[in-house]
Structure 1
Amino acid sequence: MIYKYIKTESIKKKVFQITLNNPKSRNAINSIMLDEIIDCISHINKNKNIRILIITGEGETFSAGADLEWMKQSIMLTVEENKKDAMKFSKMLKKIDELYCPTIALINGHAFGGGLGIISVCDYKIADSKSKFCFSEVKLGLLPAMIGPYILRNLGYSNTKKLFLTGEVFGVSLASELNLIDKFFDKEDITYERNILIDKLLSGGPKAQSAIKSYLQDIYSKNISDKLIDIAAESIAKIRVSEEGQKGIKSFLDKNKPDWHNEIS
């Protein structure tokens, strides 16, 4: 299958890689990319002929988050249309999260916003030591609703709240400390370390690994229900069409700092 915004390849027997491939926009996520990831993983799930899935980014960035053109379009959408978009993003995350085989996020550079959602649903996260991270939505007058349940699962309530509220940029040391990533290495060592992890995973029984993932999903992830996802989609849809959300997005697109009103209500 040939895609526009992702590249797919086998890098080793039974090891498959999806590369986010929108380098002119720093691998920013758009609606077509979401469709392509969903389609690709649906084929993997149907055929069940791989042991490990790796997700990485083309070039020097893992993902800058939402694509600017996609954001421009969201300004013109209704609440229901924005909710539909949000549900597609959630479907993509859930497809990765519930995949039968082990998944590795190979973080080749900075990851912001929705890119961190992709990382959070992978089983293993290996980062380039120079990578930077940011939950940038609050600076656009938005909330990271669709990635929230998965980030909360990884970081815990207090750490998630602190990073969501400030939208601060942070590095690999804090990301590792907070359990957002597992390990980080210099760029020249990251492929070697990836291969060590691949060999460890291939030494396990594939049926056992699939059963382990399913078992842990059943006992740990019940809180990420369809109802919660619907509430999250409704929340982001409403704030996207709000005055503050519109101002934040437009200011970001115009490269201006938004002049926030102090009123909450």
Structure 2
Amino acid sequence: MKNLVLYQVAERIATITINRPEKRNALNPQLIAELTDAFIKASEDDLVKVVILNANGDAFSAGADLAYLQQLQNNTFEENVADSNRLKKLFTTIYYLPKVVIAQVEGHAIAGGCGLATICDIVFATPESNFGYTEVKIGFVPAIVSCFLKQKVSESIAKEILLTGKIFSAEQALKYNLINFVTNSSDIHQKTREFALSLCTESSGNSLMITKQLITQTVNPYLEKSLEFAIQINARVRESDDFKKGISSFLKKEKINW
């Protein structure tokens, strides 16, 4: 079976690469599990001080895989809770990782893919990159990712992004404070690596770890409770008629009349 995630270490930087370009790096259970394992490996790797998350192909991640979405329609409530917990584990592993995580976003980062970028500590993107939480357009809810989005942007911006499901540019994402840097595609690899190297050579690893911990533990002390609520919401929404209608129409490439 092909590895959907690649892991390499050089100069105290672990590079975790999503390796499903033929599916636009869409998320499925195998990819979520491999990403989680890779971040845990980086966390425990004494040779690693900083982590870069990037992707092969022309998209960072297009969100949920179509076959995965189809399977969700047949899940029981308990199976949907378990599935949501796996996504929560991936996101919290990255969010609480005792090492700085930098996202290198090239191409689209949509729905769960946008969430993946959102939870990273620092985000570089190209001018051609697009972002968006499109879940409401197919009868779904961006439940888990919303818990992290609200810590980066204002409530009014979060509502605008999540309720409209609109796609927006990297420049707009920068204005929203969703990302940190917009860098030309020809330079983004070098700029991301230079930033990571500067952290490795100019900052104490222990200080980086404790500073990140200080921020993550104090910015939202109710995050875990919010995530547990979000998991229940996720599972309930997947049983709704709107979800089944939206996913069915989306898979058939039919216009959805809400």
- 2:20 and 2:244 map into 1 onto residues whose CA distance is 25
* 2:166 corresponds to 1:172: no
- 2:135 and 2:98 map into 1 onto residues whose CA distance is 31
Unaligned runs of 5+ in 2: none
CA-based RMSD = 1.3
Partner of 2:88: 90
* 2:241 corresponds to 1:243: yes
Of stretches 229-238 and 213-222 in structure 1, the one that deviates more from structure 2 is 213-222
Question: Alpha-carbon deviation of 1:47?
Answer: 3.3
Partner of 1:126: 124
* 2:203 corresponds to 1:204: yes
- 2:247 and 2:199 map into 1 onto residues whose CA distance is 42
Question: Alpha-carbon deviation of 1:26?
Answer: 0.3
TM-score (norm: length of structure 2)? 0.96
* 2:30 corresponds to 1:32: yes
For these two proteins, the number of residue pairs brought into alignment is 257
- 1:152 and 1:27 map into 2 onto residues whose CA distance is 25
Unaligned runs of 5+ in 1: 261-265
- 2:88 and 2:108 map into 1 onto residues whose CA distance is 21
Partner of 2:40: 42
- Contact 1:23-1:58 at 8 Å conserved across structures: yes
Of stretches 123-132 and 193-202 in structure 1, the one that deviates more from structure 2 is 193-202
SS across alignment from 1:229: helix
In structure 1, what residue type is equivalent to 2:211?
Answer: I
- 2:222 and 2:190 map into 1 onto residues whose CA distance is 36
Partner of 2:193: 195
Question: Alpha-carbon deviation of 1:3?
Answer: 6.4
Partner of 1:61: 59
Cα distance per residue 1:48-104 (max 9 Å; x no partner): 430110111111100000011110100100122111111100110000001111110
In structure 2, what residue type is equivalent to 1:211?
Answer: I
SS across alignment from 2:128: coil
Question: Alpha-carbon deviation of 1:200?
Answer: 2.1
Q: Describe the shift of the 1:97–1:48 C-alpha distance in structure 2 as closer, same or farther (beyond 3 A).
A: farther
- Contact 1:3-1:36 at 8 Å conserved across structures: no
- After TM superposition, where is structure 1 displaced by more than 6 Å over at least 4 residues in a row? none
- Contact 2:99-2:208 at 8 Å conserved across structures: yes
- 1:195 and 1:36 map into 2 onto residues whose CA distance is 23
Overall identity of the aligned pairs, in %: 29
